[in-house]
Amino acid sequence: MKRLLLFILAILFQLTVFSQFTIYDIQLSHPSNASQLVDKLVGTGVTYSNASFTGSYGGTQAGNAGYFSGGTNVIGLNSGIVLSTGNVGKHWYTNTYIAGPNYYADITTVTNTGGDAQLQALAGTTTYDKAVLQFDFVPQSNVIEFRYVFASDEYNEFVSAGYNDVFAFFVTSLEADGYNYNNYNIALIPGTSTPVSIDNVNLNYNSAYFINNENGARNVEYDGLTVVLTARCYVTPCKTYRMKIGIADAGDPYYDSAVFLEENSFTSPIIDNIGYTTSNPAAGGGTNMVEGCSNGIITFQLSSPTPTNRNVNFTLGGTAVFGTDYTTIPNIAGTYSPPNNYYVTIPAGQSSTTLTIVPIQDGVVEGTESIIFGITTNLCPPYNTINHTAYIVDNSAAYTVSLPASYTICSGQYANINATISGGQAPFTYAWSSGHTTNPISVNPATNTSYTVTVTDACGTTRTATTTVYVNTYSTAPSSIVATPNTICEGSSTTLTVNGGSLGSGASWKWYSGSCGGSFVGTGSTINVSPVSTTTYYVRAEGTCNTTSCASVTITVNPLPTVSITATPSSICSGQTSTLTASGASTYSWSGGLGTGNPKNVSPTSTT
């Protein structure tokens, strides 16, 4: 009677003070049948049947099953289903949902859905306002689990007061499975066999799992709630079980309680993702690994962690041969029955494991080979298989880097140096002695210079090559030609010498007559010429880098004189004198000891 009086006084106080508040975070709605509730709850690795619900789906005074969403910052679960001993819909006197803040000291809706025998046995007292969801299920793995939160307005004043609202998750084996469960409650305090209840989880007991909401810190109407907990049960894959999720008022029908179950969290872990990476993504790339260079890494991902070791079966196919073309880490040799059927183990408490494929560099040029993994994702027939193909890229061809022996440029010009690569694994990196990091490179050294390149392929293998750039200089034009002499007589010679200018790399002085580049005369800085007539000579530098302009000189060639002599008289008597007169020249030199000069008087004693 005292508890009922407190309940009535609380209602009057709430109607007077708090009815104006309408702040809600969690959104709630009603299903129309049990299968809709189970659909919302069940996730991967579980099939279900025979869903039933005992309670009410809706109405102004009832409706103790529903959906919720937007609960992440309120109860720790974003969405799912909720079973309540009160109304999941609107409350009869507040016209609000069960969402908070916690405006009311206590909240109650009598659903008149009766009690439940198993819940009553668990509570040790009469139960009321039950909401019970049941379904049969077949797990695909060796465990089932789901996440939940329990909340109640019995907190905190009725802890250990005999009004201990009760909930449970009962598992029953429907066929021989090695466990023989019979209404086995898995709503347990973590690490114990103690049921989660108001008396067992509160401010004083197992408080690490309890959230006090009397101050309304959480936008939910209940005075207290648990943290997010996980219900877990070991099962035998492919066997059939029954799940009974129930909640009820205990001791009296007052003060509501609810259990929130996360959407799609009722799971039995299966392989739901196959990942592939390489130890050296730069080599091969994608699904390619490279012999002796880049390993392939297969990741087997479960939909949720496995509480016990879980073997994942797979077959191996393709053109590559295990043990000849590749090995694995861990080594799966011998872990098969029948042949070609292998497995890896996902350790307890983990949701994934990896298998490293190590391609062997066998020195045989054989092209790209394939490995086909046929991965079984579940433990129950019909088995589902995911095929994943990876490739081994051959890395046995010779890996060389070469450069031309040399390049020749003229001073100020650029040489484009290009390293040629054969074999190896792209991409390649380049380190030149000049500091360049690309290929080809362009350089313009001032003097003869050697260049070395170190090439590193994607596998980290290096090769080097060296070349030399030879730098040729330019010639400069001669300023003049010195002729010794400039004027000669016909039949004589003169020496021509280059004056000024310089010869570049590989250059020489080239002489011409008639014009610059005309009739070739000779080569060298000095030449001798014997022109038969007055002639102009030209010289220039010709070489690898350039041909200069010409310098020139003209050699004057005087013709030989035609000389004649007259004697007056030409006949004389002994003792007489004859005058000899020369003509045709300018100066004369006489024989017979006559010396020079013109004319000459002679008195020969005989014909002379």
pLDDT at residue 62, rounded to an integer: 54
Mean of pLDDT over the chain = 89
Closest to 145 (Cα-Cα) out of 228, 50, 58: 228
In one-letter notation, the amino acid at residue 262 is: E
Between 15-29, 52-66, 482-496, the lowest mean confidence (pLDDT) is in: 15-29
pLDDT at residue 98, rounded to an integer: 67
Cross-strand pairs, 421: 401
* DSSP secondary structure letter of residue 41: H
Q: Buried b / exposed e across 536-546, counting CB within 10 Å, b at 16+?
A: bbbbbbbbbbb
Name the residue with higher pLDDT: 384 or 523.
Answer: 523
Between 5-19, 50-64, 301-315, 526-540, the lowest mean confidence (pLDDT) is in: 5-19
DSSP 279-328: SSTTSSBTTEEETTTB-EEEEEEESS--SS-EEEEEEEESSS-BTTTEEE
pLDDT at residue 15, rounded to an integer: 37
Closest to 311 (Cα-Cα) out of 274, 342, 275, 272: 342
Dihedrals φ, ψ of 443, to 5°?
-130, 155
Question: pLDDT tens-digit profile of 387-441?
Answer: 999 999 999 889 999 999 999 999 999 999 999 999 999 999 999 999 999 999 9
Name the residue with higher pLDDT: 114 or 102.
Answer: 114
Token look-up 């004389």 returns 572
Mean pLDDT (whole number) for 270-286: 90
Q: Is the pLDDT of residue 19 over 90?
A: no
In one-letter notation, the amino acid at residue 367 is: G
Question: pLDDT tens-digit profile of 141-189?
Answer: 889 999 999 999 999 988 988 778 999 999 999 999 999 999 999 999 9
The vertex-214 CA angle with 211 and 216, nearest 5°, equals 90
How far apart CA 118 and CA 248 sit, in angstroms, is 11
Residues 6+ apart with CB under 8 A from 596: 587, 588, 589, 590
pLDDT at residue 40, rounded to an integer: 97
pLDDT at residue 103, rounded to an integer: 60
Q: Is the pLDDT of residue 263 over 70?
A: yes
Q: Is the pLDDT of residue 21 over 70?
A: no
Dihedrals φ, ψ of 53, to 5°?
-135, 135
Cross-strand pairs, 400: 422
Q: Is the pLDDT of residue 121 over 70?
A: yes
DSSP 88-111: SS--TTT---SBSS--SS------
pLDDT at residue 58, rounded to an integer: 64
DSSP 228-243: -EEEEEE--TT--EEE
pLDDT at residue 32, rounded to an integer: 85
User: How far, rounded to the nearest angstrom, does the alpha carbon of residue 142 sit from its chain's CA centroid?
Assistant: 37
Query: In the structure, what pLDDT confidence band is assigned to residue 337 with cuts at 50, 70 and 90?
Result: confident
Mean pLDDT (whole number) for 307-334: 91
How far apart CA 188 and CA 198 sit, in angstroms, is 12
pLDDT at residue 17, rounded to an integer: 34
How far apart CA 42 and CA 324 sit, in angstroms, is 45
pLDDT at residue 580, rounded to an integer: 92
Q: Is the pLDDT of residue 93 over 80?
A: no
Mean pLDDT (whole number) for 195-222: 92
Provide the sign of the torsion angle of the four alpha carbons 267, 269, 274, 277, taken in this order.
Answer: positive
Run of H or E residues at 482: strand 480-484
pLDDT at residue 308, rounded to an integer: 80
Q: Is the pLDDT of residue 267 over 90?
A: yes
Q: Is the pLDDT of residue 115 over 90?
A: yes
pLDDT at residue 22, rounded to an integer: 31
Query: In the structure, what pLDDT confidence band is assigned to residue 383 with cuts at 50, 70 and 90?
Result: confident
pLDDT at residue 1, rounded to an integer: 40
Closest to 133 (Cα-Cα) out of 260, 251, 265, 224: 260
- What is the reported pTM? 0.64
Mean pLDDT (whole number) for 93-102: 56
Using an 8 Å Cβ cutoff, are 69 and 254 in contact? Answer: no
